[in-house]
Structure 1
Amino acid sequence: MIIDLTETEMILSFTEEMASYGYRYVAFNTDIVNNADTIEFFRSSPDAQEYCLVMTNDANCYINKPIDPLLEDLRALVQSGLDLSLIEAIDLTGFARRLRDRKELLENNLNTNKMNQKNFEYLRDQLKYTGFGETFDAELKANMMKGDKDFKIMHTGIMNNGLPNKDTLTVELNFKKSDQTDLYFFNSYHVNLKKEENKPGLEQTFYINNDSGSITMKEAYNLMEGRSVNKDFRSKEGESYNSWISLNFKDADNNGNFKFNQYHQNYGYDLEASIAKHSIKELDTPQYKEDLMNSLKKGNLQSVTFVAGGVESKMYVEANPQFKTINVYDANLNRINQREGKNQKQGESEGQSSGKDLNVNQENSDDSEKTDKKMHRKIKSKSI
């Protein structure tokens, strides 16, 4: 039914009055703009139908409707807050339903936008705390708005740590939408570490664990450089524990991912005691000492100052949990301390696994001195 909007309140008042008298049906001309004078009211459906049959001809088409939907539409129109002076006429049929649908759509969009904003903020924080900073905020939001089932974000950086040689790190961040909701999840990132041009790089996928154990980009780089990282993890039973981890470059899973060696807290590696055996200037200052310990736990090759006979010299150190010591390098990154006796080699088999699962989608495996030497030949950078 098309009605004259200036007559809305009049039509509503007249229709309510007729309904109070027991009239249950209305009939009207679909080809004109109706007002209170052009709408006819009937007590029964047959009477309304007969009227429409008589009035319909080549020039006019009459139909009849129950009175209740008309009342609902008129009341919804009056309460809608529309500026009726800006529109001359409107198709009133189903107005109340259309108005409800519009409100529901707006509410759903509002809720979806709120949910997506929270989802975006959560993923943004995940990227930030995984070491990717805030570089990808705009790209992340743009991909989420597309609504695809999954998407990737690419990142390439240079890891030279202040040394002449430069390593190219290409990272592929993987996002996937939930099958049950519209929420996206940051599942993993794939790293390609290329040390020389025109040669294939070393590749590894690192999985994101929301509760514990996620490996940052810098830690991933250090692991792929052959160093060890100290992390807090959670077992499948939900128990928290601390462990050193390193990549086993001699053992990969079916997907080509290197498995992890694990040196559990019960393995007995004491980093502080190991580094205290050396005359390092930074150990004399509590803040510098704390910074040094934290850096080594992240797997960094850390610059330090050795003092011998009153002479200071710049060297580099890294943690070596497998042999319960630290490795020392001179300013040119030549290894200057060898392992302190065969008794340290017992660490190859003792205590690597305490019956708890390392929650990084990898398994433990054995090390060997040959493997360790091979890994250390690869080290060509210091920590930031």
Structure 2
Amino acid sequence: MNENNVEYLKKTLENLGFGTKLNEVLETAIRREMPTFSLGIRTQMRPAESKDLGSERTENLNFKINFNRSKDSDMYFLNDYQVTLTKKNDPTVREQTFDLARDHRITALQAYKLLSGLALEKEVFLKTNTGEMEQGNPQPQKTPVWLKLNLDVTDAYGNHPLRVFRPEYDYDLVKTLAKFPIKDIESPDKLQNVLNTLRAGNYYHTDLMIGKKAVPVSIAANPQMKTLDIYDKNMNEIRHETIFPEQFNAKSTKSEQAITNNAKHEQALPWEQEPAQQTDRKRGR
């Protein structure tokens, strides 16, 4: 048994958030020189939207971690793991296989957040482009990107596509927050706390001014639409037209006026009837 390899695998499991519970069964499998094997671990989580840290753990997570042995040596590799999420009172079972290299070494906790429908920001290594190599920088650099699973579809492998929003997509969370009348962004310290919470793939619970009333809400980052997802205390979505009725009323009035003007313009046009086609003309052969 390659002791250095085993220690590296143990460290990898710990860094991914699986702790040390699997260490003993990992060593046993490697001692038996199994060509491939899978280890399992399960845990329970509080719902992602829960405000109470003491609330019941109702989210069931099962992990199947896959290992294989090199064909040319006694080295073992952890290539991917499968996670299954079962939520209370939800018949839909959510599954995903995360490849460590392809999917930017998603941790167990990050996998849970992504399967819960949340987006998160993570610093990852992106492939170096040709321009960077020409400038003498051949090494890949860590870049903050937003990640989110498309839970509406599955690909040919049964996985939900992992969307990656790079900096050039221009999702600016600070500017996005500034658009909403949110209570907890008055000071730099409070703003930083909100940013850290959302970037980690969590809901942030705060108050939102709707009209003249402060309404308790939960907010989450939505990088794809470059906005925030906002929910009431029952986790029902609060649409933007509810928060900004003046803006939507103005848009609606402008749209209605444009339709009216187009209708008047069409009535005023001197439309002419097309001449009837001649029916006695011989057809060409």
For the pair 1:277 / 2:184, whether they are aligned, the reply is no
Match of 1:184 among 65, 72, 76: 76
Provide the secondary structure at the position in 2 that maps to 1:131.
coil
Deviations 1:287-333 (A, max 9, x none): 55434323312322232355789986643110011111111222221
1:123 alignment partner in structure 2 = 9
For the pair 1:294 / 2:196, whether they are aligned, the reply is yes
2:132 alignment partner in structure 1 = none
**Which letter does structure 2 place at the counterpart of 1:324?**
K
1:208 alignment partner in structure 2 = 100
The CA distance in 1 between the partners of 2:188 and 2:7, in whole Å, is 37
Unaligned ranges ≥5, structure 1? 1-111, 343-384
Match of 1:261 among 159, 163, 166: 163
**What is the aligned-residue RMSD (CA, Å)?**
3.2
For the pair 1:217 / 2:104, whether they are aligned, the reply is no
Q: Is the 8 A contact 2:99 2:105 kept in 1?
A: yes
**Which letter does structure 1 place at the counterpart of 2:82?**
H
Q: Is the 8 A contact 2:84 2:96 kept in 1?
A: yes
Match of 1:317 among 202, 205, 219: 219
The CA distance in 1 between the partners of 2:122 and 2:57, in whole Å, is 28
Provide the secondary structure at the position in 2 that maps to 1:322.
coil
For the pair 1:252 / 2:154, whether they are aligned, the reply is yes
Kindly, what percent of the aligned residue pairs are identical? 29
Deviations 1:81-121 (A, max 9, x none): xxxxxxxxxxxxxxxxxxxxxxxxxxxxxxx5xx41x2222
The CA distance in 1 between the partners of 2:26 and 2:214, in whole Å, is 48
1:195 alignment partner in structure 2 = 87
TM-score (norm 2): 0.67
Deviations 1:222-245 (A, max 9, x none): 211222222233334464443222
Larger radius of gyration: 1
The CA distance in 1 between the partners of 2:64 and 2:227, in whole Å, is 34
1:334 alignment partner in structure 2 = 236
For the pair 1:156 / 2:42, whether they are aligned, the reply is yes
Number of residue pairs matched by the alignment: 227
Over 3 Å counting, the alpha-carbon distance change for 1:304 and 1:133 in structure 2 is farther
The CA distance in 1 between the partners of 2:158 and 2:5, in whole Å, is 31
Q: Is the 8 A contact 2:44 2:57 kept in 1?
A: no
Of Structure 1 and Structure 2, the greater helix share is in 1
Provide the secondary structure at the position in 1 that maps to 2:97.
strand
The CA distance in 2 between the partners of 1:313 and 1:128, in whole Å, is 40
For the pair 1:230 / 2:132, whether they are aligned, the reply is no
TM-score (norm 1): 0.52
The CA distance in 2 between the partners of 1:121 and 1:282, in whole Å, is 44
Unaligned ranges ≥5, structure 2? 129-138, 249-285
Over 3 Å counting, the alpha-carbon distance change for 1:133 and 1:298 in structure 2 is same
The CA distance in 2 between the partners of 1:198 and 1:213, in whole Å, is 29
Q: Is the 8 A contact 2:81 2:98 kept in 1?
A: yes
